[in-house]
Structure 1
Amino acid sequence: MAEKSAVTGGRNESRGGKSDAAFRTISEVSSDLNIPQHVLRFWETKFAQVKPMKRAGGRRYYRPEDVQLLSRIRDLLYSEGYTIRGVQKLLREKGPKGLLAEAEDVSATAPEPAPTAEPVVTEAAAEVSAPVDTGPQGSLFPMAPAGMPAATKAALKEILAELKEIRDAL
């Protein structure tokens, strides 16, 4: 994990001065990973590999390995677009250590994504007004699905412009 510093003695100041090897409560893990506590409890039921230690009264204590695994599960679900079943399959095939090792390999060798050009908007597509959505979120599609590559977004915008042009031609 992190190297011990002379000043903090291996403590991570962002975690309230706890050592990197210290066990964490569910509220600390929830805060660190930006995941609600009920989601962490739900994940315990879906991923057998996530087994926090439980003390009297059912209070959960997460080991550093548990926190790393939860972080990887969060990335797979929220950033990479996996389903719960997909993550379960990965965990069955590779195991928790394999899944974590794969994440480290990918982050160490992943090239930076190439910048994408903005799609070309034709005059006909520019003249078409966007449909108005009166829904509570304020737009038809408030955000793209998590983990969608910029190149895919650009391609979809381009296809949408072509479809609008075809619609106007009809």
Structure 2
Amino acid sequence: MEKSPDAFRTISEAAEELDLPQHVLRFWETRFSNIKPLKRGGGRRYYRPEDVLLLKGIRHLLYDQGFTIKGVQRILKDQGIRYVIGIGEGQPIEPVVQAPAATVPAAQRGAIPPEVEPEPAPTVAGKGLSGSDREKLAGVLRELLDCKRILERAREG
């Protein structure tokens, strides 16, 4: 039986929906003060639907857009929680001008605290990219990151 979209999720359900290990969600709670699941007796966590959307937005920024934890913290501070929840709902975002995730070690993209914030990616010949070029590059980056995740899982298995 499938839960209603408005139902609360346990940490295992949220982790499965986000395709992340549970320990990553617990770690993110220590790094993002906006992640506040309800905790019941025994410390059992229950994520509200908006918590899951926030987690989806954070996951997208870390794993698909290549931000570091520090970078996502800055987005939450500057743009607000509604902006990141919107990303979790699938609203389009302005492609980022930061080092691609492929150049940022996985440890810095959300699983372990980052040591150094990467420099922004250089622009082509000193000029900014057009919006359509940015969209194309962001799409290619997402595909490459998906391929990388598949390869990492294959190596682990």
TM range, smaller chain: 0.5 to 0.7
Normalised by the size of structure 2, how large is the TM-score? 0.58
Give the drift of 1:95.
1.4
What TM-score, normalized by structure 1, do the two folds share?
A: 0.54
Specify the SS of the correspondent of 1:61.
Answer: strand
Aligned to 1:87: 72
Q: Which runs of 5+ in 1 are unaligned?
A: 1-15, 111-143, 152-170
Q: How many residues align?
A: 102
Correspondent of 2:38 among 53, 61, 78 = 53
Per-residue deviation, 1:79: 0.5
Q: Choose which of 95, 106, 109 in structure 1 pairs with 2:92.
A: 106
The yes-or-no answer on 1:18 pairing with 2:3 is yes
* Paired letter, 1:87: V
Once the 2 structures are TM-superposed, how far is the Cα of residue 83 of structure 1 from its aligned partner?
Answer: 0.3
> CA offsets per residue over residues 92-115 of structure 1, 9 Å max, x none?
1121112233564416x99xxxxx
Distance 1:98 1:17, change over 3 A: same
Q: Which runs of 5+ in 2 are unaligned?
A: 96-100, 105-136, 142-157
Contact 1:79 1:146 in 2 (8 A): no
Greater RCO, 1 or 2 (C-alpha within 8 Å, sep 6+): 2
Task: State the percentage of identical aligned residues.
Answer: 51
Q: Residues 88, 17 of structure 1: CA spacing in aligned structure 2 closer, same or farther, 3 A cutoff? A: same
Give the one of 50, 53, 60 matched to 1:68.
53
Aligned match of 2:115: none
Aligned-residue CA RMSD in angstroms? Answer: 2.7
Letter in 2 for 1:92: K
3-state DSSP of counterpart to 2:6: coil
Q: Which runs of 4+ in 1 moved over 6 A?
A: none
Check 1:56–1:18 CA distance in 2 against 1; reply closer, same or farther (3 A cut). same
Distance 1:76 1:102 in 2: 8
